Structure 1
Amino acid sequence: MNGAKDKSKLGYRILLGAVVLVLGGSMLLYLVPQAPTSGEVSTDTVAKVGDESVSVQDIRKQLDQIERNNQVPRPLEGLYAQQILQQLVFQKEIEYEAKRLGITVSDQERADRIRQYLPTAFNGGSFVGIDQYTAQVQQRFQLTVPVFEELIRQSLLEEKFRKLVTDGISVGPAELQDEFRFKNEKVKLDYAVIKPEELEAKITPSDAEIKAAYEKNKSKYQVPERRSVRYALLDVNQLRQGLQISDDMLKEQYQANIQQYQVPNQVHVQHILFRTVGKTDAEVEEVSKKAEDVLKQAKEGAKFDELAKKYSEDPGSKDKGGDLSWIHQGQTVPEFEKTAFSLAPGQISDLVKTQYGFHIIKVLEKQTAHTKPFEEVKDSIRAPLLLTQADKQASDTADQLSAAIRRSNKVSLDDLAKQYHLTLGETRPVSAADPLLELGNSQDIKDAIFRLRPAELSLPIRTDRGYVILSLKAVQPAHQGTLEEVRDRVISDLKREQSITLAKSKADDLVRRVKGGEKFDAAAKALGLEPKTSDSFARDGSIPGAASGKQLGAAFNLKQGDVGAPLNLGQNWLVYRIAEKVEANPANFEAQKKQLTEEVLQSKRDLAYKAFQLALNDRLKKEGKLKLMPEKLKSFGTLG
Structure 2
Amino acid sequence: MFNLFRSQKQIVKILLGAILSLVAVSMVITMIPGSWGAAANANQNLLAEVGDPTLWWLANTHTLTVLDVQQAMPNTPNGPHAGLALETIDQELTKLVLMREAEELGLESNEQELADWLKVQMPFFFIDGVFQPDRYRVLIAQQFRTSIPRFEEEVRRSLMIDVKLRRMVVDTVEVDEEDIIELYRRANEKTRLRFVKIRANDFERQLAPKEEALREFYEERKQQYSIPESRDIKLMIVDATDLPAITVSEKEIARQHRQNRQRYQVDERIRASHILFMTEGKSDEEKKTLKEKAEFVKKDLQQGMDFATLAKEHSDDPGTAEKGGDLGWVTRGQMVPSFEKASFALTSGKISDVISTEYGYHIIKVHEKQGAHLQSLDEVRETIKQELIEERQYNARMQRIDNAIASARQAGKDFESVAASLDLGVKILAKVGRNDSPAILGEFETLTASLFAANDGEIVTATQNDRTAIAVVTTITPERPAEFQEARKRVRTQYIAQESKRLAEERANEVGTAATKEDLRKAARRFQLKTELSNFLRRQDSLPNLGSIGLLGDKAFTSVTGKSVGPVLSNDAWVIYEVIGHQEAEMEHFLDDRDEMSEKHKERLQEQEFDLYRRETQRRFEEAGRVRRYHSNIQRYVSTFSGRR
TM-score (norm 2): 0.45
TM-score (norm 1): 0.46
